[in-house]
Amino acid sequence: MSSRRRLLLVCVLALLLGATLFVWRPSSSAVLYSGFARADNGLLSLEITVNPPVGSPGTKMQMIARVTNHAAQPMTPSIVLRLPPGVVADIYALPSGATFNLQQNQIDWLPVVPAAGALEFTLDMVVQTTDVTNPEQFIAALMRHQGDQREASAPIWVGITPLIGEVMAQGQVSVGQPIRLRANVAGPGPLTTIWDLGDGRRLELGDPEVVFPIAGSHEIVVEASNPAGRVTKRFTLVVLPQPVAAFKPDDDAPAIGQAVIFRSTSGGQPPLKVFWDFGDGTTIMGEQQPTHAYKQGGVYRVRLAIENDFGRSEAVWDVTVGDAPIADMIIGDRAAVGLPFTGQAFGDDTITHYMWEMGDGRRHEGAAFSHVYRLPGDYYVTMIADNGFGQTRIGQWVHVDAGTTSLFLPLAAHMGDSTLSTLSADMPTAAELAPPVESISETFTLEPIQFAAGTSPAEQLLAYLNAARARFGLPPMNYGYELSTAAQVHALDKARFPDNPHVGTDGTMAAERLLRSGYRGGYAGEATAWGFSDPRLAVEFWVNSDSHRPLILNQLGTEVGIGYVEDYSTENIWHWTTEFGIAYGVPVKPVLRALMPATGYGALNTEVLNYSWMWPLPLAPGERFTVYLETGSRRLSLGSIAQPVYGSRYVLSVDARSALGALPNGAANLPGYSWVVRLEDSLGNAIAEGERRMIAFTPDPSIPVATLVPTIPIVTATTAAVAPTPTSTPTLMPTDEPPSNEPPPVIVTATPQPTPSP
């Protein structure tokens, strides 16, 4: 071998090794499973610690729950600790005041925390089973106290070690020939796969493609690991000096005139001689990735031949050349966030596949599509028609407007000296709105305002609201703290659960949420909006809407509260809530709303009934709710409760047979009953009372009725009546899930229904 050829060989090997190292980029993915969570409201703090935070079946874990009281008086919070499935706790080690719910796999703890002190308990746990598809678990903690609710989650990992199945790689390869290393790795993630190539290279890749610059035998080791452990598997790869011809075109069914790239994946000990024959009379030598275009349709056999000192090899590939399709599309040029946007493609009979690129990173297949944009803006939509020989691409710009808004006036401000507890159809003048204009002749727009750095979105919306009011000669509205507190809570609520824009997930209406926030002024209404990234656009839309304008331009409005959430995990990203008030209006009185059982409810006398109701305000010390069962002039107390199950919702579970048996003699046989709930103080005096709901009780047909059975003509024996056993129904426990089965109450609104956005 000449010195020139030796130098060439060294250069080629250096280039191959450099290319391999360039492809390999080490990466690390460290996921932290701390096993720690903290919930804090300033007065109380709850800390959860799990050790160890990573486990497999059979692993013993230990959880320490500690609640600290920072106040100068004792506190009695309600704490719920929910364990993940498959983790079993030693329920016999629970402290005083703690119970275990087997159905929910959760601990309900009612500690009495001394002033400036702390309480804690330690719970032993064992991992029994794991979910291999979802090993990333958490222990959820919920702390409630006097209407305040705090949540936290301690992340843990519960799974099994990974498994390595078949390793897919040919037993031999030529020098410089790319080879794809594959291994069937299974197990819960996060998974890390590392390949040791036996020549000093370690690649942290799933299925790496590598080349070997030197002939010889290599022991390959594949390693798979996750938080539970690490496993390895070995195999031998032989690298040969003989040439191996291999290539692939980037398109083996191109259109006439389309440039095709032929990529060689050949290998062999350098120096190599390379020869290409494209089948149409065109040949080329020396290039590894030539480009060629065919001038006529037909089927062409492409041939690649390589040669070195150890031999010769050939590879062939058939290329079919045809015409690209004729196609076009029909789509609109405007769309709206959250609303369906459609389009239709058409073309000649040769088209086999349609593809749509929507400009926001998402795609659709088929001749027609329906798409929902999540963000406003301008998007370039591309239709791609393919017939196997080529592609035809047609594009068009589409402008997407912000999402729609909705308006609701559950309780409007009312003038007068008397306080109204509810609104009804016979009080049409209860709502007071006084807009300066009924309609506008042209589209309303606002000039952008240059805000200082750090100005919050809520402050920006307030500025644009007052700018709009100033255009119509109206005074500015002030920023209300209590109104804003309620608005922010509702904005967060609707970002997670947008089904009903004005009913909270805990069942509360707008006026009830204002009472909980401490607002005691006159109430003018609530407006919600989503999909507007710029508050100026939201205000412009409201003013241009006939149904929204009376609220925004209300001459009687004096203050406003604004809530804002920007959440890119939700469909419409930006969520606004505004609460409008009248400082001199008469405050709305809280209402005790009965929920279930509904009026006319029929129950078996063996049922466990769940009486539920809503009360918007926190309870003062000593206050409680008492549920009564009434028939005629008789009244029976079914029980009392002072702790809500969720938000403002209360539930009392009562066994019907026990309640009916406690009625005075003869009362249990009367046909008509009703139930009512009262809010009472510590002396039993009524503070508020809900409406009466009718309820009927019928015997359980599954319980046998005692009868007289004659045994002989003279003497008879009577079978003893067996008292039926009440059926067992679980008592409702506090939950983090919002109620979804109660319809909102019918409330008179002061404005027409909102008009859909354009």
Sheet strands (E) in 443-568: 478-479, 522-530, 559-566
User: Quick check: 711 pLDDT over 90?
Assistant: no
> How does pLDDT run across 195-216, given as a tens digit for each residue?
999 888 999 988 899 999 988 8
Q: Which of 54-63, 242-251, 598-607, 641-650 has the lowest mean pLDDT?
A: 598-607
Q: Which of 111-125, 244-258, 489-503 has the lowest mean pLDDT?
A: 489-503
Count of Cβ atoms closer than 10 Å to residue 671 Cβ: 7
The angle that helices 457-471 and 535-544 make with each other, rounded to 10 degrees, is 30
pLDDT at 97: 87
Q: Which of 318, 336, 409 is nearest to 372 (CA)?
A: 336
Residues sharing a CB contact under 8 Å with residue 442, sequence separation 6 or more, in sequence order: none
User: Quick check: 727 pLDDT over 70?
Assistant: no
Across residues 268-291, what is the average pLDDT? 94
DSSP state of 436: S
> How does pLDDT run across 371-404, given as a tens digit for each residue?
988 788 899 999 999 988 888 999 999 998 876 6
Residue 316 host element (H or E): strand 311-321
Q: Which of 650, 727, 659, 729 is nearest to 697 (CA)?
A: 659
User: Quick check: 749 pLDDT over 50?
Assistant: no
Across residues 652-661, what is the average pLDDT? 81
**Mean of per-residue pLDDT scores for the chain:** 81
> How does pLDDT run across 527-544, given as a tens digit for each residue?
888 888 899 988 998 888
- pLDDT band of residue 12 (cuts 50, 70, 90) is very low
Q: Which of 71-75, 365-369, 575-579, 752-756 has the lowest mean pLDDT?
A: 752-756
pLDDT at 755: 38
Burial of 545 (0-12, 13-18, 19+ CB in 10 A): buried
| Distance of alpha carbon 353 from alpha carbon 324, whole angstroms | 12
pLDDT at 580: 87
Q: Which of 693, 651, 657, 654 is nearest to 675 (CA)?
A: 693
Give phi and psi for 625, each to the nearest 5.
Answer: -105, 135
* Type of residue found at 126: V
User: Quick check: 333 pLDDT over 60?
Assistant: yes
User: Quick check: 743 pLDDT over 80?
Assistant: no
**Which residue do the tokens 């309600």 mark?**
78
pLDDT at 339: 79
Percent of the chain with pLDDT over 90: 41
Q: Which of 172-186, 401-415, 671-685 has the lowest mean pLDDT?
A: 401-415
Q: Which two tokens stand for residue 743?
A: 């319809």
DSSP state of 727: P
User: Quick check: 342 pLDDT over 70?
Assistant: yes
| Distance of alpha carbon 746 from alpha carbon 82, whole angstroms | 36
Q: Which two tokens stand for residue 558?
A: 């004096």
pLDDT at 503: 79
| Distance of alpha carbon 80 from alpha carbon 97, whole angstroms | 12
Q: Which of 176-180, 199-203, 229-233, 435-439 has the lowest mean pLDDT?
A: 435-439
User: Quick check: 116 pLDDT over 50?
Assistant: yes
Residues sharing a CB contact under 8 Å with residue 352, sequence separation 6 or more, in sequence order: 386, 387, 388
pTM greater than the 0.85 cutoff: no
Across residues 219-247, what is the average pLDDT? 92
Across residues 641-652, what is the average pLDDT? 87
Q: What's the chain's Rg over C-alpha atoms? A: 37
Across residues 450-476, what is the average pLDDT? 91
pLDDT at 669: 52
> How does pLDDT run across 571-627, given as a tens digit for each residue?
778 888 898 888 777 777 788 888 888 887 887 877 888 899 888 888 989 999 999
| Distance of alpha carbon 591 from alpha carbon 421, whole angstroms | 7
- pLDDT band of residue 704 (cuts 50, 70, 90) is low
User: Quick check: 660 pLDDT over 90?
Assistant: no
pLDDT at 303: 97
User: Quick check: 725 pLDDT over 50?
Assistant: no
Q: Which of 304-313, 571-580, 677-686 has the lowest mean pLDDT?
A: 571-580
| Distance of alpha carbon 53 from alpha carbon 34, whole angstroms | 6
pLDDT at 744: 36
User: Quick check: 719 pLDDT over 80?
Assistant: no
- pLDDT band of residue 709 (cuts 50, 70, 90) is very low
> How does pLDDT run across 25-71, given as a tens digit for each residue?
333 333 478 999 999 999 999 999 999 999 999 999 999 999 999 99
